[in-house]
Amino acid sequence: MYQLSFEVGMEVFGISRTFPREEVYSLTDQIRRSSRSVSGNLAEAWRKRRYPKSFVSKLSDVEGEAAETQVWLDYALACDYISEEQHAPLFKKYDSILGMTVTMITNHDKWTL
Whole-model pTM over 0.75: yes
Looking at the structure of the chain, the number of domains it has is 1
* pLDDT at site 113: 87
CB 17 within 8 A of CB 44: no
* pLDDT at site 106: 97
pLDDT means per 10 residues, the chain with 113 residues, are 97 97 94 98 96 97 98 98 98 98 96 90
Which phi-psi region, left, alpha or beta, contains residue 80 (left: φ > 0; alpha: ψ -120 to 50)? left
Tell me the residue range of the domain where 88 lies: 2-110
What sections of the chain are H helices per DSSP?
2-16, 27-47, 52-78, 84-106
Q: For residue 79, what is the domain's CATH number?
A: 1.20.1440.60
First to last CA, the chain: 19
The per-residue pLDDT for range 20-41, each reduced to its tens digit, is 999 989 999 999 999 999 999 9
* pLDDT at site 93: 98
